Structure 1
Amino acid sequence: MQELHLSEQRAMLGLSIYVLGYGVGPLLWGPLSEIPRIGRSVVYFGTFVAFILVTIGAAEVSDYSAFVFLRFMQGLFGSPCLANGGASMHDLYPESQFPYALALWVAAAYCGPALGPLLTNSLVNNISWKWTMWLLACMSGPVCILLFLLPETYAPTIRYRSSAFNTSSNQNNNNTSSQSDNPLAKLKFYLVKPVQITLQDPAILFANIYTSFIYGTYYTFFDAFPIGYPPVYNVSTTTLSLFYLSVLVGCLLAVAAYFTYLSLPNYLRKHHHHTSPKSTLTHTPPTKHERHLIPAIPATFLVPVSLFLYGWTLRPSIHWIVSIIGVTMYAGAVFIILQCLSMYIPSIYPEYAASLFAANDFCRSTLAAGAVHFGIPLYKNLGMARGSSVLGGVSVLGVLGLLGIYYFGERLRAKSRFVERLVE
């Protein structure tokens, strides 16, 4: 910031524009990966090659405006892992294993931004901020090789490629061949359909709005930490970067708790054969779709509690670990919610999984990009306590919303035009 003589808000553009880019990208790459002619592996590899080239360009450019543009392109080309990753997990794993695989994917995507300050702090302070881009480019090389070797996982693409060598199969699929032969029509179809589902299914609409809010609040920590901790506890930038590890700790604890929840039914079946069927069904939700939301219910209560704890304990008279515990609680709660909603969305409309993940990514990333900028005036004008209280107060609405779709989701879906596509 000092080297380029940038204001605080302008310096944050590099982060916010990148986040915006990987929110816009899934709207293109998600539907594109669901065109049978293309599939997921081509999108993964092609965009990642472009990502590496753009990253090298960002490391060499001197003009800040050009750097911001390249950051957007980085987000755009680096986003398929967010757009298609969950859908790829859905392709690969059966229902019994899918939650475990998806949890690890969500955890990796969620913890990445928190590890960034720790990895790049010494490079920025001791060498140059440009070396953060070179580090990213070097780390991306081996990943690119793995993506080149990645086999196709999308079933319609596998069938389409196999049918290319068998003309008789084309005669048996007249209803789908026209769409497969027209990629633009297919792309338009998958771009429009998630918007229609979002607007006409209240559960999907709530999922997109709520995840946008909690994810945007997560990104305000990148503003709040430098504003709150150095003046209150007189910590250095190196020490401050270690505070972001609280997100990683919270996420790891949440993963362990979620895996325990998933394995609990099997444990009870093996060790409590005397349990009556009536007692095991006492808390069964209306449908198997809403079953995915059970762990998210207590997590939604932790969101406002953790925000209030963080904001009101960040003061000289209270040890810094107390406010960090609040951040850790928030990180764990948000992971659980994101994981549960990531299970919930594709269970309702599995045929539109990648496109619905893309729509959700766009909503989350758009608000997160804005949160990077509104977090600074929020905490500077209101202070840490009242600023966190505003966010905590709004998050209470999420508790009501999640309880609503848990108990009434089936009824709301019954009024949707897409009810015939539900997998019961």
Structure 2
Amino acid sequence: MTTQAERNPSPSEEATLSADRDIEAWPSSAEEHKKPPVDPYLVTWDGPQDPENPKNWPNSIKWRYTVAVSLFTFISPVSSSMVAPALKTLGEDLHMHSEIEMELSLSIFILGYAVGPVFFGPASELHGRVLLLQISNLWYLAWNLGCGFAQTPAELFVFRFLAGIGGSAPLALGGGALSDTWSAEERGKAMGIYTLAPIIGPVVGPIAGGFIAEYTTWRWVFWATSVAAVFIQLVGLMWLRESHPGTLLMRKQSRLVKETGDSKFHTGAKVESLPKKLRGALVRPLRMLTTQPIVTVIALYMAYLFGTIYLITATFPSMWAEKYGESTGIGGLNYISIAVGSLVGVFLNFNLIDRIYRQLKEQNDGIGRPEFRTPTMFMGSILVIVGLFWYGWSVQGHVHWIMPNIGVAIFAAGAMGCLQGMQTYVVDSYQIYAASAMAACAILRSLAGFGFPLFAPYLYQSLGYGWGTSVLAFISVGLGLPAPFLFWKFGPKLRAMSKFASG
């Protein structure tokens, strides 16, 4: 078996892992023959069509992999919001004495999302995706099951927080996993499915949770999601296979050493002790969050969108009960509007994001750029603004119940456009460190998802639904509209200055 050293002459970690980049074309055969072998023991892919390279997997395997990763990403957000319609009965059973305690029962799960990605994203770059997905899901399953047996508020808070840490893993490393397998021209559709999971999850949860809370007990909210987690674990065992290039090349190195008895084979990665390697990897998301303007701005806007989604999710039950006099179960059906909007947003992006990318790439002499993902971000931001104004003032004016639902659907469609565009832009910009970049975004996103529902009651008590929701819309005006233009103009320069960015 050859090591194809001539394909990657650099011994650094970045050069080794960049074997899976697809923004730039693979060198032609003529170009390769001009380059003499530099290191015959350097382990990399056996050419551009190497079947071991995840980007060369058959599409059927890629789509099964994408669906499996998205299912892992789906179940945790379901748990995050499914308890929302049951907060009142849960608070009564566990003797909670304040509204903030009940809201904390919902949002503390999201706080775990801020902790887990700091470890899971970088760890997946060291040890692969599959092992962490499976272990983290089992961790989530155990603590989520425990929530159904909680007898005190303290027990529930601790169990929910620990379950949230386990549930954060797919959100942290899913973007990197899809970057491993899909080329830039194809990645938009896969990211659409992946992005849909954490949006649809908080919608499906309350719909089911509303009827569970009305006809059984709030404890079945947790037990039902635990059963679903078992099913997803089984799907993962069948459809997940390792996709991280660094991990696969390390396995190839070990196989070559075993077959030949020669220990000189290497992947070009720096030889470091495991503690030192982990320490560097764990710090990387925080460094990227604080030193990479692209990651910082994307993380802030993602945080705003996720925070707003969870704010609406948390206040939906009380809004429909107080303003429209609907029961818990019937009020939960209004979450369907978020699902419809999200599906419309994903469908539009399916047809736009990759098409726009290919057209702009053709106009740029066949050279792809991450900035070609930004048009959908701008279009999504417009819908977010329109949807929030529509929703807030419809509730404030107490118009027909269909009007707030239309507003929320427009907002959800726009959020999908923004999130899909942003996540694909980050993955394209930081291919080698995509999981760390997404983990950095997940930190702020999760803190917002935790904090926004806590201040929601006070926001609407002080300003009402009209002006309260308008404040959220003005944030998108100030951040969401200019960001795509700034990325388009300054993105290439920022990436050129970064040691983390691709191309």
Q: If the length of structure 2 is used for normalisation, what is the TM-score?
A: 0.76
State the one-letter code of the partner of 2:482. Answer: L
Give me the identity figure in percent.
Answer: 28
Q: Which of 6, 17, 24 pairs up with 2:115? A: 24
Match 1:400 to one of 475, 478, 482: 482
Task: Give the secondary-structure state (helix, strand or coil) at the position aligned to 2:93.
Answer: coil
Question: Contact 1:224/1:384 (CA < 8 Å) preserved in 2?
Answer: no
For residue 132 of structure 1, what is the aligned residue in structure 2? 221
Q: In the alignment, is residue 423 of structure 1 matched against residue 495 of structure 2? A: no
Q: What is aligned with 1:351?
A: 432
1:3 aligned onto 2:93:
yes
Query: Which amino acid in structure 2 is aligned with residue 409 of structure 1?
Result: G
Quote how far apart the aligned CAs of 1:401 are: 2.6
The reply to whether residue 82 of structure 1 matches residue 163 of structure 2 is no
The question of 1:171 aligning with 2:252 is answered no
Asked if 1:411 corresponds to 2:493, the answer is: yes
Contact 1:224–1:379 (CA<8 Å) still a contact in 2? no
Cα contact 2:120–2:169 (8 A) shared by 1 = yes
> How far, CA to CA, are the matches of 1:292 and 1:308 in structure 2?
26
| Partner residue, 1:157 | 247
Greater relative contact order (CA < 8 Å, ≥ 6 in sequence): 1
How many Å apart are 1:164 and its aligned residue? Answer: 2.0
Counterpart residue identity of residue 148, structure 2: A
Question: Counterpart in 2 of 1:57?
Answer: 146
Q: Comparing 99-108 with 44-53, which one deviates more in the overlay?
A: 44-53
CA contact (8 A) 1:232 1:315 kept: no
**Cα shift at 1:94:** 2.3
Are positions 1:184 and 2:272 aligned together? no
Tell whether the 8 Å contact from 1:224 to 1:376 is kept in structure 2 after alignment.
yes
Rate the CA distance shift 1:174–1:343 in 2: closer, same or farther, 3 A.
Answer: closer
Structure 1 unmatched runs, 5+: 270-276
Distance in structure 2 (CA, Å) of the matches to 1:264 and 1:201: 28
Query: Does the aligned pair in 2 maintain the 1:163–1:170 contact within 8 Å?
Result: no
The aligned counterpart of 1:374 is 455
Deviation at 1:400, TM superposition (A): 1.8
Asked whether the equivalents of residues 308 and 388 of structure 1 are also in contact (C-alpha less than 8 Å), the reply is yes
Gaps of 5+ in 2: 1-90
Q: TM-score, normalised by structure 1?
A: 0.89
Does structure 1 conserve the Cα–Cα contact (< 8 Å) formed by 2:118 and 2:439? yes
CA contact (8 A) 2:187 2:354 kept: no
After superposition, what is the alpha-carbon deviation per residue over 1:336-369, rounded to whole angstroms, capped at 9, x for unaligned?
A: 1110111111211111111111111111011110
Matched, 1:360 2:449: no
Q: Cα distance 1:381–1:223, how it changes in 2: closer, same or farther (>3 A)?
A: farther
Number of corresponding residues = 407
* Residue 231 (structure 1) aligns with: 322
CA distance in 1, matches of 2:153, 2:427: 40
- Give deviations 1:362-412, integer Å, cap 9, x for gaps: 110111100010111101221101101111112211112332222222233
Describe the SS at the equivalent of 2:403.
Answer: helix
Q: What is the CA distance between 1:190 and its match in structure 2? A: 2.0
Q: Structure 1 residue 184: deviation in Å? A: 2.1
Q: Secondary structure at the match of 1:60?
A: coil
Match of 1:274 in 2: none
Deviations 1:205-234 (A, max 9, x none): 110111111211111102332343322222
Farther-moved stretch of structure 1 (308-317 vs 242-251): 308-317
Structure 1's consecutive aligned runs of 4 or more residues displaced over 6 angstroms after TM superposition are none
Contact (CA 8 Å) 1:228, 1:384: kept in 2 or not?
A: no
Equivalent AA in structure 2 for residue 251 of structure 1: S
Contact 2:250 2:267 in 1 (8 A): no
Q: Which of 288-297 and 117-126 deviates more?
A: 117-126
Change (3 A) 1:405 1:79: same
CA contact (8 A) 2:396 2:465 kept: no
Structure 2 matches for 1:76-115, cutoff 5 A? 76-115=165-204
**Worse overlay, 117-126 or 183-192:** 183-192
Question: 1:51·1:77 contact (CA, 8 Å) conserved in 2?
Answer: yes
Counterpart position of 1:293:
374
